Structure 1
Amino acid sequence: MARNGGEPVLIDRDAEVGDALCGGFMSWRTAATVAELGIDLAQLGAQRVTSLRLFAGHHSARSDLPEPAYGLSRRSFDSALRRTAITAGAKLEIDTIRALEPGCASGEAREYRSGSLFLAGGKHDLRGAARPRIARDPALGLRLRIATDPGLNALVGESIELHLFEGGYAGIVLQEDGSANVCLALRKSLLARAGNEPAHLFE
């Protein structure tokens, strides 16, 4: 919007960019889209991903990806997005939005009025824009970051691994610093049966 003459305001609740739960795997389509913004994932040190390995019980399969994808932490990616927006002319405000009405976002610091408001709240609900809670057994997301390990890095390599199990799956991909990003998506009931202790899921 800034590049087309607009005066966008980017409102972020955190002065320092955090490391969001989801999004550590960037598909080739995502890479092409952000390249149009001037962001080169390879220059950010992203881990190149060229294949998918799928595991289910004692079975496994492998397939090359149509084009290279990337493993990159959300901290690195979101920092690049923020820098690009500011360089293009967007104004950054650090504030927490508490309520949303047509044409007005109410923050802790002040109100923001505009004819166009775009909300990206992630896991945080907002007064006036709460999401319905209709699922009896909702899906949950859990993440574990494993420090660089030569053995693990050799096993995963330039692959993204998906490990399927009843009630969910785990994805593993290396990121820019050589660490392994392990994300689990699973049903809430499965975690409850494990006593709400993620480590018990692997026993």
Structure 2
Amino acid sequence: MARLAEYMAGLAALLGNEKSVHFLRLDPGSIEIVHRVDLEDRPKVEDRLASLRLGNAPADAVKAHHLIDNMLANDNATGVLTSGQDLVVIAFTGGKRPKSLDYGTFSQPGSFDGIPIKVGGLGELVPIHLQEIGPALFVHNCVATRAIARDVAKYLFQSPIRAHGEGRWKREANDGWTLKRFVITSFEPLDDAPLESVVARLRDIDGNGWRDVTRPLKVLRDIRGEEITP
């Protein structure tokens, strides 16, 4: 059941438009997740999947595709996303993709933003789960010392934080990267003020270009490589 939930979360992130995508049932088979997309938003989902095939998809769609493909590879399985006419829309090579050289894992400093949704454990390094803010809701599994975990727990289910530390990354066969372990060495709470008030504060600072920006959300998403609905 836990693995099924991971696949369903990956599929939801892949399709996007979470308010218009609905789970219907499981059909007989290994895992056959039947879903429905509201009629008015089908063109958005179709364009999103088409951009994956063309290689110019938004970053969150590419990340979801890699996530599903890596899960299938780890389960020694393959998968396809089909339309109602059983036409293949997206294929996942999974366990059948060509084996690449094993480069091992690499350590690299980095940071993650998210809301703490789990803090606790028995070891000296305490598990901390950070859930991203946004439609994908990806969860980063991190660890930290008990002292840091105790401070992070103050923001549990409440406020986003930015966690800094060092991660161990593994190069996958599809050229993606999988985070194996991330040790938090420090963090800071993030300002959860609405975007409008943040932009207003920026515009009050002399000598910056935000006073001329009429659509700040579009600018931010363009910088991040994300798609935006007009």
| Pair in the same fold by TM > 0.5 | no
Return the structure number with greater helix share.
2
Q: Indicate the structure whose relative CO is greater, using CA pairs within 8 Å and at least 6 residues apart.
A: 1
Coarse TM-score class (shorter-chain normalised) = under 0.3
